Amino acid sequence: MNFEYTAKSLDLQARVQVFMDEHIYPLEEEMRAFRREKLWQIHPKMDELKAAAKAAGLWNLFLPKGYGDLSPGLTNLEYAPLAELMGRVIWASEVFNCSAPDTGNMEVLAKYGSSEQQERWLRPLMDGEIRSAFLMTEPEVASSDATNIETSIVRDGDEYVINGRKWWSSGAMNPECAVYIVMGKTNPDADRHRQQAMILVPADTPGVEVVRPLRVFGSLDSPEGHAEVTLTNVRVPSTNLILGEGRGFEIAQGRLGPGRIHHCMRLIGAAQRSLELMAKRVAVREAFGRRIKDFSSIRQDIAQSRCDIEQARLLTLAAADKIDRFGAKGARDLIGMIKIVCPTMTCKVVDRAIQAHGGMGVCQDTPLAGFWVYGRMIRIADGPDEVHMYQLGRNTVKDYS
């Protein structure tokens, strides 16, 4: 692979950097306090920021060029360093309409949605008028094995009737969340991987109840939140089914590949920023008669972090390059590898940065605590580490035996 970025990507990297400097970093502390204290409210400057990003041509950059007119025309490899820049501030990717779970949901609709579904839901999502959530995980079953999902989706005339209980529905607490993509069973007697389907459910459909927000290490992650949601005799038109009955796994494969690259690049951005904050802090602080930067354990932590980040970055770029050339299926093993490597790497690097900051590192005065939580939760979300290792191990044995 060619490790040089294209001129187009370099130009956009410079522009995203300028945007971050002018609009995002100056608001960072205020936004952190707002998100903590004003629950389920959107910061008054959010719409203004989104309009500025749109006007600057920094909008929907995540959607790869294979999507034709819908896409701003970047490859995953060109987009990866932009996601890294956005990941340096926990809420920044939303400003560019590049945040999960909307990106994955938009990609599902762009790839598999009917023209009616695209007009009704994809267009407002791509315009940033509404937000969305993805409802797969269920409290009653081990959802890392998605064949366990029990929510029922039953055809009744021109409608489907949905019953089930979901949790960890990220984004579903957001007052702007208007639609869910729900995974459930349409064909419970079919082959294990042909039982599931995905269906669009408007958030205001009768029978939908947002039961409670879940906390992640004590934080509510407002305004997006992670909700527990019940669906009781929820009726939607049969045209809301995406792609067809029994095709949920096929859609899930298409959804998760690029999404994992986005998460990994954002995590690398968080780790890189943590390293930079650490370097700045230890350069000025003194203990036991010398600058903290001069203790060899600190230098080792910094050097090790730099190596860890660069290794993860290169692996993720290789995955992005492979997905561009061979699709999500062809890049399957590399995508598994980055999902295993990047969240743990981020946790380690952020942990070292927290330690070097002393007490300041665990409080609200730096983004470090939020970065650590992000890395830790991605070790579980989008498939726990062990599941990716289980699959990568199986594929590797198959390849070499």
Ligand X SMILES: Cc1cc2nc3c(=O)[nH]c(=O)nc-3n(C[C@H](O)[C@H](O)[C@H](O)COP(=O)(O)OP(=O)(O)OC[C@H]3O[C@@H](n4cnc5c(N)ncnc54)[C@H](O)[C@@H]3O)c2cc1C
Residues forming contacts to ligand X in the complex (CB under 6 A) are: 101, 134-137, 142-144, 168-170, 216, 226, 377, 380-384, 386-387, 390
Closer residue to ligand X in complex, CB, 227/292:
227
Give, as one character, the DSSP assignment of residue 363: S
CB closer to ligand X, 60 vs 170: 170
CB 228, min distance to ligand X, A:
11
Smallest distance from ligand X to CB 216, Å: 5
Tell the burial category of 394 from Cβ atoms under 10 Å away from its Cβ (0-12, 13-18, 19+). exposed
Smallest distance from the beta carbon of 222 to ligand X, in angstroms? 13
SS3 of residue 269 by DSSP: helix
Got the DSSP string for 134-183?
A: EE---TTS-TTSGGG---EEEEETTEEEEEEEEEEEETTTSTTEEEEEEE
Nearer to ligand X, 60 or 132 (CB): 132
Q: Is 362 or 377 the residue whose CB approaches ligand X more closely?
A: 377
DSSP 38: S
Residue 28, judged by CB atoms within 10 A of its CB (0-12, 13-18, 19+), counts as middle
For residues 63 and 146, which CB has a smaller minimum distance to ligand X in the complex? 146
Our CB check for ligand X shows the closer of 94 and 301 to be 94
- Check: CB of residue 207 under 8 Å from CB of residue 164: no
In the bound state with ligand X, the residue whose beta carbon lies nearer, of 266 and 293, is: 266
| CA distances in angstroms from 285 to 87, 187, 346, 359, listed in the order given | 27, 63, 24, 13
Note if the bond before 26 is cis, omega within 30 degrees: no
CB of 211 to ligand X, least distance (A): 15
Dihedral (CA of 9, 11, 14, 16) sign: negative
* Shortest Å distance, C-beta 85 to ligand X: 23
Smallest separation, CB 393 to ligand X (Å): 9
Question: Which of 19, 134 has the CB closer to ligand X?
Answer: 134
User: Nearest CA to 151 among 244, 231, 227, 250?
Assistant: 231
Minimum distance from residue 143 beta carbon to ligand X (Å): 4
SS3 96: coil
CB of 146 to ligand X, least distance (A): 8
CA-CA-CA-CA torsion sign (59, 258, 89, 32): positive
Who's near 24: CB < 8 A, 6+ residues apart? 49, 89, 92, 95
Q: C-beta of 251: minimal distance to ligand X in Å?
A: 13
Cβ-based nearer residue to ligand X, 317 or 328:
328
Pairing verdict, β 152-156 and 241-242? unpaired
